[in-house]
Amino acid sequence: MPKPLIALVAAILLASGVSHFSGHIDPYYLDVVTGVGINVILAVSLNLVNGYTGQFSLGHAGFMSVGAYLSAAVTLLLGQKLFGEAGGTELQQGLLFLAALVVGGLGSAAAGLAVGIPSLRLKGDYLALVTLGFGEIIRVTFQNVESLGGALGLNGIPNYTTVFWVYSVAALAVFTVVCLVRSTYGRGFLATHDDEIASEAVGLDTTRYKIVAFVVGAFFAGVAGGLYGHFKLTITPTGFDFTKSIEIVVMVILGGMGNTPGVILAAILLTVLPEVLRSVDEYRMVLYSLLLIVLMLVRPKGLFNFDYARIFARLRGGRAPGN
């Protein structure tokens, strides 16, 4: 079995192991840990679009909301029909949740395709604006669909999200993104990022790469949305506005664009940080925003962007390459 696959299986087993003991963990910490996992999925999947492929999307929260609503609709509607009042066995619930997550992810991927095909012809700031616009349109639409709760949102979503689900999906997201980018096919993402014109000149279909990145990113955003809905138990359209998108973008940028370990660390840091700052609650968000500005001024290439080759070389006692 190839190494990444072993790592994936190990991560899922570990997640299910930890999940088994989640009853013994303080619920507050469990909440934070779950939140961290969901943000890791969002940040890693956005990193495929913004980091590796170099396209600036500001609509990730919109895709997240599509997944959240679709999967919540599946568990709410089908759950009642299939299990009735009894609520079904744990296995049945698990399978239903899996189906709901897949439906949410696929629906979101379809939305990603629909958004991506027209807008990925644009570049830079303009692409950012169009994705932002689509995110907001999705939000306003949900606000107006009465059958999905309108502005009040959906309530009474069953509590299915566990540490096992969140971290299995997170592991799967990391696995997918890393393997995709490292594959022969996936070199095209990096090429699109580095120089679009040169890539086209050597025959790469850059538009196709952008759309693939967008769709895969949207898929995981949708699944993360499903997990989020079954974790918070209630979803409102305003929870997925563009501030949420920006929050995810910030994780990617602080982690260092196209640097998966860094992005994971940044997602953890930026989820835990507001919790730590809770003791100074009033100043919490002020400090958060100040930190963002200072970090951009001091470490513009991302907080966790180290020259790994140089560090390893130094650890081995040799001379650093490139000196």
Please say which residue, 76 or 291, places its beta carbon nearer to another protein.
Answer: 291
Query: Does the footprint of another protein cover residue 321 (CB under 8 A)?
Result: no
What minimum distance in Å lies between the beta carbon of 276 and another protein? 17
CA separation for the pair 4, 182 (Å, rounded): 11
Alpha helices in 147-205 (DSSP H): 163-182, 187-194, 196-201
Residue with tokens 């190990």: 10
CB 180 within 8 A of CB 260: no
SS3 15: helix
* Token duo for residue 322: 């490139």
Element at 111 (helix H, strand E): helix 90-119
Q: In this chain, which of 292, 304, 310, 313 binds another protein, going by CB under 8 A?
A: 292
In the complex with another protein, which residue's Cβ is closer, 56 or 165? Answer: 56
Site string for another protein, 240-269 (x = CB under 8 A): --x---x--xx--x---x------------
With beta carbons less than 8 A apart as the criterion, state whether 138 and 154 touch: no
Cα dihedral 298, 49, 132, 248 sign: negative
What is the distance between the alpha carbons of residues 309 and 53, in angstroms, rounded to a whole number? 23
Q: Site map for another protein, 57-96, x if CB under 8 A?
A: ----------------------------------------
Q: Which of 290, 278, 279, 157 is nearest to 225 (CA)?
A: 157
Supply the minimum distance, in Å, between the C-beta of residue 25 and another protein: 31
Specify the stretch interacting with another protein by CB under 8 A; choose among 81-89, 208-216, 221-229, 288-296: 288-296
State which residue, 85 or 146, has the beta carbon closest to another protein: 146
Nearest distance from residue 197's CB to another protein, in Å? 6
Residue with Cβ nearer another protein (26 or 146): 146
Ranges of beta strands (E only) in the chain are none
- Our finding on whether 202 is near another protein (CB under 8 A) is no
Q: Is 274 in the site for another protein (CB under 8 A)?
A: no
If the CB atoms of residues 301 and 319 are measured against another protein, the closer one turns out to be 301
Distance linking the first and last C-alpha atoms of the chain: 38
Closest by Cα among 159, 175, 161, 163 to 13: 163
Instruction: Based on the shown chain and the rule CB under 8 A, indicate whether residue 238 belongs to the binding site for another protein.
Output: no
Of residues 121-160, those binding another protein (CB under 8 A): 121-122, 124-126, 128-130, 132-134, 136-137, 140-141, 143-144
Report the alpha-carbon distance of residue 211 to residue 117 in Å, rounded. Answer: 7
Q: Which is nearer to another protein, 17 or 124 (CB)?
A: 124
Closest CA to 178 of 60, 47, 10, 15: 47
Residue 292 CB, nearest approach to another protein (Å)? 4
Distance CA 189, CA 180 (A): 9
Q: Which residues bind another protein (CB under 8 A)?
A: 56, 118-119, 121-122, 124-126, 128-130, 132-134, 136-137, 140-141, 143-144, 197, 242, 246, 249-250, 253, 257, 282-283, 285-286, 288-290, 292-293, 296-297, 300
